[in-house]
């Protein structure tokens, strides 16, 4: 078992690298679906905007939904401003950030073999509030540009009061695992003769027709940096593309 101090020393700038496997991130159930590769973990993280973060305060776990973004092996997210929680985040607190995508319902011939197709990534580390003004302003531009590359410079600047009212939390990924199921029905051999419908019902998250703000100035068109968010496109593909454009511009 690798201790936490040792894992902190691991270099993670090699994209072909893997996260260390410890008792914290080892995939135990259906471990053949698991991976510790950076590429596998990052691809799940980058395909999503919504994550869930687990923290513990006074022995009570909280599972908080929020928006996350990634720069290298660092994750950022907007914090719940519940002040009691924030005080503990200031000194750093263990956290687990998870992103999951549902890809399909799997209907088998037995209850036991019913399943879902999905992609998920669990990331472990120490969550800390980003307090330093320069790092915070960079992160506040990052959350816009990571989803809509180049957009932050087209907006009016962030005010000091807004920066103060926003909580940004950062976490270096110390350990992580990705888990994927992407296949058809897996029934027991003796069950294939059972006369019931079985199959996969795919599920995908797609983009709808944009609803422009009714108060848009005349002549303002939708900019090219939103081209990936076209009606009918998959959200995961648009978010992945935006991340690549963002990383290219860093």
The interface with a copy of itself within residues 205-234 (CB under 8 A) comprises 205-217, 220-223, 226, 229
Nearest to 107 by CA among 200, 202, 204: 200
β-bridge pairing 50-57 and 74-78: unpaired
Does residue 21 bind a copy of itself (CB under 8 A)? no
Instruction: Read off the DSSP letter of residue 28.
Output: -
Residue nearer to a copy of itself on the CB measure, 17 or 102: 102
Give the Cα-Cα-Cα angle 189, 194, 198 (nearest 5 degrees): 85
Region binding a copy of itself by CB under 8 A among candidate stretches 7-15, 35-43, 69-77, 111-119: 111-119
Q: Which of 2, 67, 237, 245 binds a copy of itself (CB under 8 A)?
A: 67
Q: Contact between 141 and a copy of itself (CB under 8 A)?
A: yes
CA separation for the pair 70, 56 (Å, rounded): 23
Q: Which of 14, 23, 32, 134 binds a copy of itself (CB under 8 A)?
A: 23
Q: How far apart, in whole angstroms, are the C-alpha atoms of residue 222 and residue 220?
A: 7
Nearest to 33 by CA among 127, 136, 103, 129: 103
**Interactions with a copy of itself, residue window 42-61 (CB under 8 A):** 49-50, 52-56, 59-61
Question: Facing residues of 168 across strands?
Answer: 78
Contact 115, 122 (CB under 8 A): no
Given the complex with a copy of itself, which of 39 and 230 has the nearer CB atom? 230
13 is an interface residue for a copy of itself by CB under 8 A: no
Comparing CB distances to a copy of itself, the nearer of 5 and 60 is: 60
Identify the burial level of 44 via C-beta atoms within 10 angstroms of its C-beta, where 0-12 means exposed, 13-18 middle and 19 or more buried: buried
Question: Using CB under 8 A as the criterion, what x/- string covers residues 185-204 for binding a copy of itself?
Answer: x-x---xxxxxxxxxxxxxx
The nearest distance, CB 58 to a copy of itself, in angstroms, is: 9
166 interacts with a copy of itself by CB under 8 A: yes
Residue with tokens 């750093």: 92
Binding of a copy of itself at residue 159 (CB under 8 A)?
A: yes
- Pick the stretch among 9-17, 34-42, 114-122, 128-136 that binds a copy of itself (CB under 8 A): 114-122
């Amino acid at each position: 078992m690798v201790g936490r101090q040792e894992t902190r020393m691991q270099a993670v700038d090699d994209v072909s690298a893997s996260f260390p496997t410890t008792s914290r991130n080892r995939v135990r159930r259906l471990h053949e679906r698991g991976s510790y590769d950076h590429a596998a973990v990052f691809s799940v993280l980058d395909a999503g905007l919504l994550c869930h973060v687990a923290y513990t305060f006074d022995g009570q776990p909280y599972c908080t939904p929020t928006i996350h973004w990634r720069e290298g092996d660092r994750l950022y997210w907007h914090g719940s401003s519940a002040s009691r929680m924030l005080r503990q985040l200031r000194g750093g607190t263990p956290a687990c950030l998870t992103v999951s995508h549902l890809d399909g319902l799997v209907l088998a011939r037995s209850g036991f073999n019913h399943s879902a197709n999905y992609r998920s990534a669990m990331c472990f580390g120490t969550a800390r509030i980003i307090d330093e003004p320069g790092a915070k302003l960079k992160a506040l531009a990052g959350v816009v540009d990571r989803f809509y590359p180049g957009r932050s410079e087209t907006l009016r600047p962030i005010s000091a009061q807004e920066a103060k009212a926003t909580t940004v939390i950062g976490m270096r990924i110390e350990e992580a695992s990705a888990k994927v199921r992407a296949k058809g029905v897996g029934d027991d051999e003796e069950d294939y003769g059972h006369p019931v419908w079985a199959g996969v019902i795919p599920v995908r998250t797609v983009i709808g027709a944009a609803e422009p703000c009714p108060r848009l100035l005349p002549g303002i068109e939708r900019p090219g940096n939103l081209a990936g968010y076209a009606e009918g496109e998959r959200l995961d593909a648009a978010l992945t593309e935006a991340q690549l454009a963002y990383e290219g511009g860093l």
